[in-house]
Structure 1
């Protein structure tokens, strides 16, 4: 029988832990005194990796790897811009290669920063709107409605897009770096997000915003808070509500680097997109952190006669053939993930549990190209390990000023949390309690 981690009930009492679901939720929108509609705290939705749309435009510096990539897609109008992520063309093998070479990032050691492939310009459209978070591709039923259910639930509770409900998409390939290292794209996103928060507050009577962030979006939200002074945080952010955030990375990310990961998209050859996925700065950010995983063996390679933990990640990157990622990880990423800064605002973490999640991998004599011959599963949400999901409990529990609430959602997956009925009820419960100026939150065991 596999060893299980201690239940959340055993964590220090300095934090507020919710182990059961609230059995009653009420609408966030209700008449105020005198019959006038109650004014709500603005909500800003920050998506995870898959919830962002990217558009691209090819310039004369673009050097396609094939004739197919030269003529695809046949762009007419719109200034040459076309959908890069997510587009159904990725399902066709020759076009998968075109997609991969356009998505690829390059680390420039001289500039100590990442950039797009030569001849490829990218942009994220509709910043501030929730429209790009609702549909990755309206013509493709697969992967549509990323945050559609969540946004619609908030609208039914009285929220209105552009008034007190906003979206903050970003280029998910880029990340952030530790102190002293530039991150032009990631830092620019934090500035836009900060301005959106300030604008939303002003437009709603000075009421601080509620940040609702899924997966990677939670890490960006935490960095937004950590990189601004405490007076700004308390004046502009009422609560950080995270859904499935990988505070300490994920073992599954090591599989992505070793063999490629199709992210559940059918018919795609993982080996074709592996090189592109390795160049993603944010993927380096999501590797398991020593702070959470310690010396635990996460990967074993019989071909290299080695085992790897989060503490010898640079050796793992070398052995999988990604030498160019070693220095970037060592100087940019590791200093970033070694610290889990205190948010300085109340935090609620919604986490899925009880879903088989990759906990360790064994690769055979054929090496990493053949994929793992054995996968050991543990607790988590199917993508992120439980230890990573509840990382803030240990990191912030010693601070008497930091309020943190953890809500377990049994059998809810990493992506399913955006559509799960109980998860949506919890979100409305939290938003409602804030809008009612509730000083405490009670719950009843389900």
Structure 2
């Protein structure tokens, strides 16, 4: 899935084309032998999210008060994804329910008043195969990947193939700051890894993570002692991990990003996007982008790099994001610890990716008047995909393999035939214990 510049728009674009199918030749690694369990960790917007409204909920309209008309047991309904949010009056309902709020006193994020959220079927891949189970052909996310592992690598749902969905609006915080939702997810993920290993003869697990999921997986490893990592994680395999953020996130924060989908009010989507803690996590980091000019505002007569993102947030009118970004989020991007387990990073290249933006005299809300593109996967810049992990290749203690996939996009990596073949190759090699250290990109 593309990085979530617009929760609504992202899936609309996906719905314009059917998910591609892929058939891979059956591998030999699963031929009767016990496999290393695989845990799929989705990216932002990559799993279903449910909500329930309580008496504290204050709807902005009658439509928001009554929608959805049909709800499940206990009042729960699917918040993400439901195609009804594409109807203009309901888009606002969706946005106000998805909003997060930063509690200054608690130094942490929370849901909107009166909105409770949860992920369903933790441990199963069901909620991340499709974003809407009623529209499987149109909202497939990790289904092609999971199905390929089952058919070509011998995996079985619930036996040695598991899913770790989460509330992707939340992120993590630097040491010394609370992060209730993100920390709770890491604990659930840790317990899932342990139970998957125990159920498979003590074999350590393969963490297979897409996009934002790669950042979560890295934090799990970094916050775990070395003996735990050695006993429970065989290898981390990341797909399109945005190690150093993405320039496209600055467009999202500045004016909202509907990806060109008509009838969607960018200002409504923008406010919801700005409130997402994980979106702050995905802003370009100084460690990767340095002093390079990423955004120019003719209205403010000012340019912005990754080193003055706080000024950028102030100038776009998002003062409330400055302190959580400065204190909680930016330190995470500056410290990219070695995972402490073997790593394989698959990255798409050769796809036009936003590299810089110019906003005119009318200000940020009018959108950019000029966009320059560079190399990447269409969402994450190449510098972010491979630059931050360059140091890992120089460490004698860190095994690293980087696999480039020319022409494969950020979301296409989950469906593209060549990408799926590479993933099966890697998983087979792990199960046959033939993986090594191959750094396939030169700098």
What TM-score does the superposition give when structure 2 sets the normalisation length?
A: 0.91
**Pick from 139, 155, 162: which aligns with 1:166?**
162
Q: Does 1:40 align with 2:35?
A: yes
2:239 is matched with which residue: 233, 243, 262? Answer: 243
Instruction: Name the counterpart of 1:121.
Output: 116
Q: Which runs of 4+ in 1 moved over 4 A?
A: 263-266, 441-444
CA distance in 2, matches of 1:143, 1:265: 16
Structure 1 residues 102 and 263 mapped into 2: Cα distance closer, same or farther (>3 Å)?
A: farther
**Mapped partners of 1:159, 1:77: distance in 2:** 32
Deviations 1:225-257 (A, max 9, x none): 000011111111000000000000000000000
Tell me: CA distance 1:137–1:76, structure 2 relative to 1, closer, same or farther (3 Å). closer
1:382 aligns with 2:378: yes
Q: 1 CA distance for matches of 2:270 and 2:405?
A: 32
Render the CA deviation track for 1:315-373: whole Å, top value 9, x for unaligned: 00000000000011011011111100110001000000000000000000010111000
| CA positional deviation for 1:50 | 2.2
Matched residue SS, 1:373: strand
How many residues are treated as equivalent by the alignment? 416
Aligned to 2:13: none
Question: Matches of 2:325 and 2:86 in 1, distance apart?
Answer: 30
Structure 2 partner of 1:27: 27
Tell me which moved more, 340-349 or 259-268: 259-268
Conserved 8 A contact 1:44-1:209: yes
Q: Is residue 25–residue 428 contact of structure 1 (8 Å, CA) maintained in 2? A: no
Which runs of structure 2 are paired with 1:46-445 in the superposition (5 Å)?
46-140=41-135, 143-156=138-151, 157-262=153-258, 267-440=263-436
- Once the two structures are TM-superposed, the CA of residue 392 in structure 1 deviates from its matched residue by 3.7
SS state at 1:311 partner: helix
CA distance in 2, matches of 1:422, 1:443: 19
**Residues 46 and 76 of structure 1: CA distance in aligned 2, closer, same or farther (over 3 Å):** closer
CA distance in 2, matches of 1:264, 1:365: 22
CA RMSD for the aligned pairs? 1.8
Q: Unaligned regions of 5+ residues in structure 1, if any?
A: 1-23, 32-36
Output the TM-score relative to the length of structure 1: 0.90
Q: Report if aligned partners of 2:400, 2:438 keep a CA contact under 8 Å in 1.
A: no
1:261 shift after superposition: 1.8
- Conservation of the 8 A alpha-carbon contact between 1:44 and 1:166: yes
Distance in 2, matches of 1:361 and 1:143, equals: 31
- Partner secondary structure for residue 109 of structure 2: strand
